[in-house]
Amino acid sequence: MNGDNQKIQVTDEFVIQKIYLIRNKKVMLDRDLAELYGVETKYLKRQVRRNIKRFPNDFMFEMTKEELKNWRSQFGTSNSYNSEIMGLRYVPFCFTEQGVAMLSSVLNSEKAIEMNIRIIRVFTHMREMIMSNKDILLKLEKLETKVGKQDEKINLIFQYIEKMLVPDDQKKRKRIGYL
């Protein structure tokens, strides 16, 4: 019964919230994967270390201390008390989509296999969304470039208008008329 409740609670949106952009790669952290698989983080890390040949750098990498510090500050978990609660005392493993797929061979429980399938489907869906909206993203980028150039032109127009409103030579002219 408990397993059924957990299936209902883990939605695609929940999984998507656990995907981060680190080193320009979409990754999931070891602690989040451990939570989804229903195992302890140290167990997941131990299994990965025992099978390290299955996890080349493009499948999994360890965050540096500097990256961890930056990542903590982005999420407001800089003090050590919150860090321990969030499971961030140690630098985490970051798993790419391929690394998550490889985890199914290392963690061979029914729940791990089920969650792996779900996570891979989420990654695939995200990639499809990006590809289907690629044209829109390119058009937005072109528009942004055009608008950026227009800003310079608009500023130049305002400078000319200001000069036309108060010409310099008018201030130097000698006044004519009755005194």
**17-50: pLDDT as tens digits:** 888 888 888 899 999 898 888 888 888 999 999 9
Identity of the highest mean pLDDT range in 67-76, 78-87, 127-136: 127-136
Confidence bin at 166 (pLDDT 50/70/90): low
Q: Is 101 exposed, middle or buried (0-12, 13-18, 19+ CB in 10 A)?
A: middle
Using a pLDDT cut of 70, give the percent of the chain over it: 79
Place of tokens 């009755």: 178
pLDDT score recorded for residue 50:
92
Mean pLDDT of 56-71: 86
pTM of the prediction? 0.60
Instruction: Give the residue with greater pLDDT, 61 vs 144.
Output: 61
109 with 43: CB under 8 angstroms?
Answer: no
- pLDDT above 60 (res 78): no
Q: What are phi and psi of 26, to 5 degrees?
A: -80, 120
Cα–Cα distance between 69 and 121 in angstroms, integer?
Answer: 31
Q: For residue 120, give both structure tokens.
A: 């891979």
Confidence bin at 112 (pLDDT 50/70/90): confident
